Structure 1
Amino acid sequence: MATQTNQETLTVQEAIEARQSIRKFKEEQIPRTVIDQLFKMVRLAPSAWNLQPWRYHVITDPALKVKLQEAAYGQTQVTSAPAVIVLASDMEDVLHHLPETIHPGMTEEQKQTEVANLSGIFNAMTVEERGQWGLTQTNIALGFLLIAIKGLGYSSVPMLGFDQAKIKELLGISEHAKIAAMIPFGKQDSDGYPHHRFELDRIVTFH
């Protein structure tokens, strides 16, 4: 599907090869049409049983970004970027809306069976265990998000250094939710480090 944006878009390979972590951004707002297009792509990320536990919080308000920066121990990329995404996972919300995750092509009997099976699996877990399971799925969406941002001509940096409790309080995120990352993004105004990665024989084993 063609992307209707005003900036040059990249192929998947180009986006992967060009993506770097950027910590200084231009004071240039991101059009809402671009953000909408970003999430139209990212929502296609796969998840086990199609449960889609990810929840995105997009922050553009300058005053709120200042508070987010304080919760992120003063890291300046939070306020430098025109927009910040906080990516969270909420498995309790998923469980309360299980029927919404079932494919509409199933019969009613199949849908009821699937809901019952999933309820049994996840209700046998603790809230913490469900939260960790959902977080692993949400990290798949994080990878999609980083590549999609670059593919649309923007740059980002995934952050894990922040006070989760403070971020949840600021954004009204439920206490049981897990935050996968905070992602400032925009047009880069600095260079990232060149890629330094292991050779394939260090990370790939053929059997």
Structure 2
Amino acid sequence: MQVLSTKEAIESRRSIRQFKPEAINDSIIMELLESARLAPSGCNSQPWRFKIVKDKATKEQLQALAYDQKFVSQAPVVLVVCADVQGYIDGRTSGVQDLADIGVFDNRLTTILNETTHKKSALGFNVLSHSVAFNVAIAIEHIVLRALDFGLGTCWMKLMNEQAIQQLFGWDNNIVPVALLPIGYPAEAPAPRKRVPIEDLIIGSI
């Protein structure tokens, strides 16, 4: 394992769409999930959930539900990364209280956050899932960067039929697929993609 600095990982990360057939040790998969577990989230709600898919038949089904992007079934492992919507609400509720107990939030902020959580819970799973997905995205990026320490490549995938994936695994509307994340040892070395100049990213002046 080669441990990269954060800067090195960010600069060397690429979206990988060609994988070697070499299997990934389960201990490495757990290391990747541990990096996700440690990600920050709103009020420490921790709404990310993961389905680990390694068998060929299920990967082929996911490929079909990802508009036949063939590298899905070629990857040794595919993570179906999901948002637990009810878990987000429950986690925010307990997280706000935890932060209040240690003095991070005063009574005013605690009241505001509790009221916000209550309003969010009334939105319904379909609407709320988009808000929860922002938290899940942070956990995904932790996996993407940590994977480089093990010589692994990944590819964020959002183009998929979320409802059909829910049905495939028998999940209710509480578990919402956010992304597919194929993981494997790269069989390609893509060049860096074009990036917008940093000057164009800054609104106004420094």
Q: Same fold (TM over 0.5)?
A: yes
Q: How many residues align?
A: 197
Q: Which residue of 2 aligns with 1:181?
A: 179
Number of the residue aligned with 1:78: 72
Matched AA of 1:95: I
> Mind listing any 5+ residue stretches in structure 2 that lack a counterpart?
none
User: How far 1:99 sits from its partner (Å)?
Assistant: 6.5
Cα separation, partners in 2 of 1:141 and 1:15, compared to 1, 3 Å: same
Q: Give how far 1:38 is off.
A: 1.2
Q: CA deviation at 1:164?
A: 0.8
Ranges in structure 1 where 5+ consecutive residues have no aligned partner: 1-6
In structure 2, what is the equivalent of residue 152 of structure 1? 150
Query: Structure 1 stretch 81-90 or stretch 197-206: which is displaced more?
Result: 197-206
Task: Write the letter of the residue equivalent to 2:165.
Answer: I
Task: Give, in whole Å, the separation in 1 of the partners of 2:16 and 2:172.
Answer: 29
Distance 1:194 1:132 in 2: 30
The range that moved more, 59-68 or 177-186, is: 177-186
Report the residue type matching 1:201 in the other structure.
E
Distance 1:201 1:105, change over 3 A: closer
> Alignment identity in percent?
27
| Cα deviation 1:4-60 (Å, max 9, x = unaligned) | xxx323221111111111111011111011111111122111111111111111111
- 1:157, 1:165 → 2: CA distance? 21
| C-alpha separation in 1, matches of 2:34 and 2:114 | 28
CA distance in 2 between partners of 1:11 and 1:165 (Å): 38
After the TM superposition, which parts of structure 1 deviate over 6 Å for at least 4 consecutive aligned residues? 114-117
Q: Which residue of 1 aligns with 2:51?
A: 57
| Amino acid aligned to 1:94 | Y
2: CA distance, partners of 1:172 / 1:115:
37
Alignment of 1:64-143 (within 5 A): 64-96=58-90, 101=95, 103=98, 106=101, 120-125=115-120, 126-127=123-124, 128-143=126-141
2 CA distance for matches of 1:98 and 1:122? 7
